[in-house]
Amino acid sequence: MKIGAQIAEGLRPVVDLVYPPRCPLCGDAVADQGGLCSECWRELEAPGEPACSSCNRPLGSADAKGFSECFTCTNHPPIHSGVYAASIYNDASRRLILNYKHGRKIALAPLLARLIAPRLPDHGEAQPLLVPVPLHRWRLWRRGFNQAALLAQELAKLGKGEVIVDALVRGKRTPSLGGLGQKEREAALSGAITARRSRAGQLLGRDVILVDDVLTSGATSNACAEALLKSGARNVRIACFARVVDGRRI
């Protein structure tokens, strides 16, 4: 155990005494800092099987009969190599995301990353690159942090890859994508996200995991994946905490 980790472990009883561990969703007492109570754990919905062989989207048992891909991937094959989500977007995951991103509770990043990590495929000794979805500089300035970058850094601490926080650049300010249709989202993102030229050598021939907090329509992640592949990445997988399915509103 590293010295910093030893110090943190030694101070934990003091921290717990001053700030008793509480569930970030309901406020009930929990055993450890950064954990959920049993009731809130049960509210999180994990992606299940059967799932699409291309995007890992959960398939209903009726939909899965005779099909290995979802309707979307069959008609529009994705440019990414799979989506790995810790949870399905529901009320519980939505509240966690709102607390984390808009409530500025960045201490939730380790918890969310710990939930994402087991979903990621094992790459063996060939560590992938962890690349966060970028924010435009003005949005980053207003928010004060990039929630995807914090998740990527926590995943790196868990041994899931090597993080490059600035591999992608969001050079064009885009409107909020909420409420826009797929074509409108794609139009808004056209040319907005590019790979940083100075990082091209690091991306060349590498497996990349694109990290974000929520996957909605996939327009943003597709724009990121396209930029990474154009810059020479071998493949791009997407890792997120929550994934919207069945048209659920975000």
| pLDDT above 80: residue 227 | yes
The 10s digit of each residue's pLDDT in 16-35 is 434 567 888 888 776 676 68
- The domains found in the chain, sorted by start residue, are 1-43 (no CATH), 78-243 (3.40.50.2020)
The 10s digit of each residue's pLDDT in 120-170 is 988 777 899 999 999 999 889 989 999 999 999 999 999 999 999 999 999
Q: Span 4-12, mean pLDDT?
A: 44
pTM of the predicted model, to two decimals? 0.86
Distance CA 86, CA 30 (A): 21
- The pLDDT value given to residue 85: 95
- Of 206 and 11, the one with more pLDDT: 206
How far is residue 177 from each of residues 10, 174, 181, measured CA to CA in Å? 45, 8, 8
Nearest to residue 149, comparing CAs of 166, 127, 173? 166
Tell me the pLDDT band of 176, cut-offs 50, 70 and 90.
Answer: low
Q: Which of 94-98, 179-183, 204-208, 230-234 is predicted least confidently?
A: 179-183
Nearest to residue 182, comparing CAs of 96, 244, 120, 237? 244
- The pLDDT value given to residue 124: 72
| pLDDT above 70: residue 12 | no
- The pLDDT value given to residue 165: 96
